[in-house]
């Protein structure tokens, strides 16, 4: 099922709109919306419904696309038939969900968010004036995450990602799956390699991918992550405003993404059962 849940109703702006990337929010749950609702209702779920609804609430002026397995295969069959067999060979929904993301953004443009992302405000400012927006694992260094990313439709970066995934899939032994194979086969490892090829001058000569870059006439932004402490954040679903300029790395216990001093996201991949005082990874505007 492909669910286009809201038509894009952009507010009137005087002058030129600085947001080039289409205001389309994409999320993937390949087992379908009904299974997502059941999963969201389970105690300790990684996908609280209120998180997803928070993103819809602050993006009411955006269009929302929900992708399940049927919609994913329909897109590949119609637009990218050469990748369909590779997609179907992936042995689990994690790899399939990872692999689908670049094709969605190439076909439609917009912003992709993982299901374990909660939003505090709209992300228009985060993507304004850029054609491709990515997120680094760290405040510096040479890493790219695939939990939050955005682009204009048809951006050539996604062609690099797709080509590398296709080549890599031919060499994977799906009978011996482990976490590293997922990361390097369809996840952040693929993103890092694609960025290294696409933005060669940045990858070779800059100390960090973080920053604003122009590659072949395309304006690109990589947001970086740092580290901080966030105290007494209610993991039971009752959101409290985090202290300081906090943000997250997708793999950590939990965290909050901030643009300047205002929080945008919280991302979690852990059980939300109690108030915690934990080390998180922080996002800061450079």
Alpha carbons 191 and 199: distance in angstroms, whole number: 12
Q: Kindly indicate the confidence band of residue 37, based on its pLDDT and cuts at 50, 70 and 90.
A: very high
Residue range 138-176, pLDDT digits in tens = 666 788 889 889 999 999 999 999 999 999 999 888 887
* Contact residues for 68 (Cβ-Cβ < 8 A; gap 6+): 1, 2, 28, 29, 30, 31, 32, 33
Position 257 scores a pLDDT of 39
Q: Kindly indicate the confidence band of residue 120, based on its pLDDT and cuts at 50, 70 and 90.
A: confident
Residue range 40-52, pLDDT digits in tens = 999 988 888 888 8
CA–centroid distance for 201 within its chain = 24
Q: What is the DSSP string of 117-168?
A: EEESS--HHHHTT-SEEEE-SSSSSS--EEEEEEE-TT-HHHHHHHHHHHHH
Q: What is the mean pLDDT of residues 219-226?
A: 80
Q: What is the mean pLDDT of residues 13-40?
A: 88
The residue ranking higher by pLDDT, 182 or 27, is 27
Residue 251 has pLDDT above 80, yes or no: no
Position 201 scores a pLDDT of 78
Q: Kindly indicate the confidence band of residue 61, based on its pLDDT and cuts at 50, 70 and 90.
A: very high
Position 235 scores a pLDDT of 40
* Contact residues for 87 (Cβ-Cβ < 8 A; gap 6+): 72, 73, 76, 96, 99, 100
Quote the percentage of the chain above a pLDDT of 70. Answer: 72
Query: Smallest Cα–Cα separation from 255: which of 114, 75, 132, 95?
Result: 114
Domains of the chain: 16-224 (3.90.550.20)
- Helices and strands in the chain: count of H runs, count of E runs: 10, 13
Alpha carbons 265 and 24: distance in angstroms, whole number: 17
Q: What is the mean pLDDT of residues 224-245?
A: 44
* Contact residues for 14 (Cβ-Cβ < 8 A; gap 6+): none
């Amino acid at each position: 099922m492909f669910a286009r849940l809201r038509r894009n109703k952009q507010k009137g702006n005087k002058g030129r709109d600085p947001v080039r990337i289409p205001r389309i929010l994409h999320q993937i749950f390949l087992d379908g919306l009904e299974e997502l609702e059941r999963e969201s209702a389970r105690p300790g779920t990684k996908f609280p419904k209120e998180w997803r609804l928070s993103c819809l609430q602050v993006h009411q002026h955006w269009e929302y696309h929900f992708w399940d397995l049927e919609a994913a295969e329909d897109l590949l069959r119609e637009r990218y038939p050469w990748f369909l067999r590779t997609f179907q060979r992936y042995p689990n929904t994690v790899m399939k969900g990872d692999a689908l993301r670049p094709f969605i953004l190439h076909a439609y443009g917009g912003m992709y968010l993982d299901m374990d992302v909660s939003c505090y405000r709209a992300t228009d400012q985060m993507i304004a004036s850029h054609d491709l927006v990515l997120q680094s694992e760290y405040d510096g260094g040479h890493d790219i995450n695939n939990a939050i990313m955005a682009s204009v439709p048809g951006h050539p970066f996604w062609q690099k990602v797709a080509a590398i995934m296709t080549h890599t899939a031919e060499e994977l032994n799906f009978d011996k799956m482990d976490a590293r194979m997922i990361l390097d086969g369809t996840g952040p490892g693929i993103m890092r390699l694609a960025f290294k090829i696409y933005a060669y001058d940045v990858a070779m000569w800059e100390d960090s991918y973080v920053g604003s870059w122009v590659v072949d006439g395309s304006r690109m932004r990589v947001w970086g992550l740092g580290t901080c402490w966030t105290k007494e954040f209610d993991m039971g679903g009752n959101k409290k405003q985090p202290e300081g300029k906090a943000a997250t790395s997708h793999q950590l216990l939990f965290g909050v993404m901030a643009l300047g001093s205002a929080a945008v996201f919280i991302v979690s991949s852990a059980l939300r059962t109690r108030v915690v005082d934990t080390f998180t990874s922080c996002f800061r505007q450079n």
